[in-house]
């Protein structure tokens, strides 16, 4: 599990370093990677987390917590402006640290880490999901008027939140006692994020064949993990 923590942190930091050095611009390739990650994450949520939470729990009770997670993510996006699924609609000219974006993304990332203690396949979904999100977030931070130290601090803390969620989930009795309910909340969050990624229109508002292809690929790869 400690190796998992290392990969989660390194992936985000590597993406930040890549953006800082290569200075990429948004492209269709990045959007396709985002679509793949959404499909992959959705499939792993269905294949691995759904059976886990429904195996020993009352179905309607678990369903309520899934809906609560879905609603929680909607609330978080009021402050993050959709950064969790690849959109950062904030003022590039502002020099003020984006606290609401920072806090909402940290909560989202922390919650993502909770199910990792029991379900290794979902680790790969979250890891791959972080790649396009970290790249897009890094592009915003480095192209904005924020101080470089703010950008580095933001991305460093962000990289630590998912491993922290996983670590605390294995240590805190409260989380272990209510693990099915808390995992159900995380499922709601992941369902919202992955479905928004999949069903958002492309730039031309057309669901193109390349996007459909990478979505099918994401489903297929998730099935065989």
What token pair was written down for 119?
A: 């379900």
Domain boundaries, the chain: 2-20+30-88+95-224
Q: What's the CA gap between 219 and 38, in Å, rounded?
A: 9
Most confident of 28-32, 53-57, 71-75, 134-138: 71-75
Own/partner contacts of 6-9, CB < 8 Å, gap of 24 or more, are: 7/127, 8/113, 8/126, 8/127, 8/130, 8/159, 8/162, 8/163, 9/159, 9/160, 9/163
**pLDDT level of residue 28 (50, 70, 90 thresholds):** low
Full-model pTM? 0.89
Give the model's pLDDT for residue 184.
95
Handedness of CA 64, 65, 70, 71 (dihedral sign): positive
Give the model's pLDDT for residue 49.
92
Residue 140 has pLDDT above 80, yes or no: yes
What token pair was written down for 143?
A: 């192209």
What token pair was written down for 146?
A: 């924020």
User: Which tens digit of pLDDT belongs to each residue from 164-208?
Assistant: 999 998 888 888 888 899 999 999 999 999 998 887 755 555 557
What token pair was written down for 105?
A: 């993304």
């Amino acid at each position: 599990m400690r190796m998992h923590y290392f990969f989660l942190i390194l992936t985000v930091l590597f993406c930040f370093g890549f953006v800082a050095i290569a200075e990429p611009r948004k492209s269709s390739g990045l959007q396709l990677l985002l679509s793949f990650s959404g499909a992959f994450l959705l499939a792993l949520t269905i294949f691995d987390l759904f059976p886990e939470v429904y195996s020993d729990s009352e179905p309607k009770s678990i369903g309520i917590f899934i809906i609560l997670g879905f609603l929680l993510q909607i609330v978080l996006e009021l402050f993050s402006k959709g950064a969790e699924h690849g959109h950062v609609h904030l003022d590039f000219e502002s020099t003020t640290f984006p606290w609401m974006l920072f806090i909402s993304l940290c909560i989202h990332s922390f919650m993502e880490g909770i199910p990792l203690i029991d379900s290794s396949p979902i680790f790969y979904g979250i890891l791959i999901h972080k790649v396009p999100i970290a790249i897009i977030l890094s592009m915003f931070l480095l192209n904005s008027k924020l101080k470089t130290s703010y950008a580095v601090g933001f991305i460093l803390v962000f990289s630590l939140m998912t491993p922290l969620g996983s670590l605390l989930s294995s240590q805190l009795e409260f989380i272990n006692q209510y693990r099915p309910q808390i995992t159900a909340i995380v499922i709601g969050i992941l369902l919202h994020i992955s479905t928004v990624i999949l069903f958002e229109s492309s730039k031309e508002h057309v669901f193109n064949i390349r996007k459909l292809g990478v979505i099918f690929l994401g489903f297929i790869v998730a099935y065989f993990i």
